[in-house]
Amino acid sequence: MRKYFFLLLWAGIAACTVPSKTNEFIRVQGMDLVLPSGEIFFIRGTNLGHWLNPEGYLFLIRNTNSAYRLNQAFCEMVGPDFVREFWRQFKDNYITRDDIEYLASTGINTIRLPFHYKLFTDEDYLGLSSRQDGFARIDDVVNWCREFGLYLILDMHDAPSGQTGDNIDDSYGYPWLFESEAAQQLFIDIWIRIAAHYANEPVILGYDLMNEPIAHYFDNKAILNTALEPLFKRTVAAIREKDKNHIMLLAGAQWNGTFEGIFTDWSYDNNLMFTCHRYGNPPVADGIRDLINFRDKTGLPMYMGEIGENSDEWVASMRKTLEENNIGWTFWPYKKLGNSRSFVQVPVPENWDIVAEFANHPRDNYQTIREIRPDMNTTRKALNDYLENCKFKNCIINQGYVDALTN
């Protein structure tokens, strides 16, 4: 009871720090972020991964591991009409006001919201092929964050033509963004629209322009890397035509991990910070020494946008290491299916194994699809059960994980 009282008290204090009726914003000041009051603000939070950019492994599916591949597998199992409705309810149920209220009660202060660029186009995505609902979905989170005293970082997790070249960006296996002027212009245009919509919204801390650009697999990654900073500069300049207020977050190449030699100029805007990701490293400062050194060289903040998916002990130790080195954090992810390495876990529905088995099986011809397709009624029930299980009221709180991040 005593712990719960202090968590509620902390959340109430946090709510008071979020400006709701003024045009005052968190800003970069040296290697820190500062509130409108001038107080230092340290990011502590989580990622709403999977909601607006589904990933196979968060469905316990390995091989069919990106949004468009998942959509295809589900359609092959139960038909496109059912799948369109599935995605609509998935978006309605997976993240709701209840989730944000709970997160605020734990004592965190920031949410990173990954989204797919297609949510701002008329491309086919998550059950819609026109009038996509990106602004409506994000507006909901903005309103809930305002209500419960949290800040929000918007993260374009999937950029036009793909910025990573893996399932992470729902692409075609190569970072075609950096070889397509049309895709780059669409990337910029979407950020212009987002900036125009949220320019005067102080609940939003900043724009994480591009998640995990340029995976390490490619022999020409050194050449691809040289395209990153110029694209960031063009994008920041375009956003500033609409939005003078928000922080611009710049990601390193090779999974948000490489900064030296890629970024040579950080003087073109007075409200920049860098965002890194790091998985699997020992939870000690030596494991992030390169990030600390680059942060110190630039004199700008470094923020760990993703980290985690490890034991509670590792999470607690890494959180302490980040805080000791003035690196704010949003651990990944908030929810997982049948897994305790997250704030909450979704119970695995009955017969979910047959969904995963079909999606994981090679399906390179129509005969195979017909031969291995499971019973449609059983599969539809499993998918509907998932939609019910993923609601916050039916999730299981992983208290050890929560304590590792909030104690």
pLDDT of 23 over the 80 cut:
no
CA distances from 163 to 40, 186, 191, 217, 220 (A): 33, 13, 15, 13, 14
pLDDT of 183 over the 60 cut:
yes
Helix (H, G, I), strand (E, B) or coil at 239: helix
Each residue's pLDDT tens digit, 372-403: 999 999 999 999 999 999 999 999 999 999 99
Peptide bond before 80: cis, by omega within 30 degrees of 0? no
- What are the tokens at 118? 């297609």
Q: Which helix (H) or strand (E) holds 30?
A: none
Dist. CA 265–CA 228, nearest whole Å: 12
Each residue's pLDDT tens digit, 245-259: 999 999 999 999 999
pLDDT of 34 over the 50 cut:
yes
pLDDT value of residue 17: 46
Dist. CA 2–CA 284, nearest whole Å: 31
pLDDT value of residue 93: 98
- What are the tokens at 226? 């040289």
Dist. CA 282–CA 260, nearest whole Å: 21
Dist. CA 130–CA 144, nearest whole Å: 26
DSSP 8-state secondary structure symbol assigned to residue 358: H
Dist. CA 105–CA 94, nearest whole Å: 18
Dist. CA 48–CA 52, nearest whole Å: 8
Chain centroid to Cα 72, Å, comes to 23
Query: Left if phi > 0, otherwise alpha if psi is -120 to 50, otherwise beta: which for 176?
Result: alpha
Query: Left if phi > 0, otherwise alpha if psi is -120 to 50, otherwise beta: which for 66?
Result: beta
8 Å CB contact between 300 and 273: yes
The DSSP string of 117-181 is: GGGGSSS-BTTBSSS--HHHHHHHHHHHHHHHT-EEEEEEEE-TT-SSSSGGGTSSSS-GGGG-H
Q: What percent of the chain is modeled with pLDDT above 90?
A: 94
pLDDT value of residue 295: 98
Mean pLDDT, rounded, of the chain: 94
Direct distance between the N- and C-terminal alpha carbons of the chain, in angstroms, rounded to an integer: 15
- What are the tokens at 325? 């080195």
- Residue whose entry in the numeric block shows the structure tokens 């000690």: 284
pTM above the 0.75 mark? yes
Which residues, listed in sequence order, are joined to residue 113 by a DSSP beta bridge? 154
pLDDT of 21 over the 60 cut:
no
Each residue's pLDDT tens digit, 299-341: 999 999 999 999 999 999 999 999 999 999 999 999 999 999 9
Name the E strands within 230-314: 247-251, 272-277, 302-306
Dist. CA 297–CA 96, nearest whole Å: 40
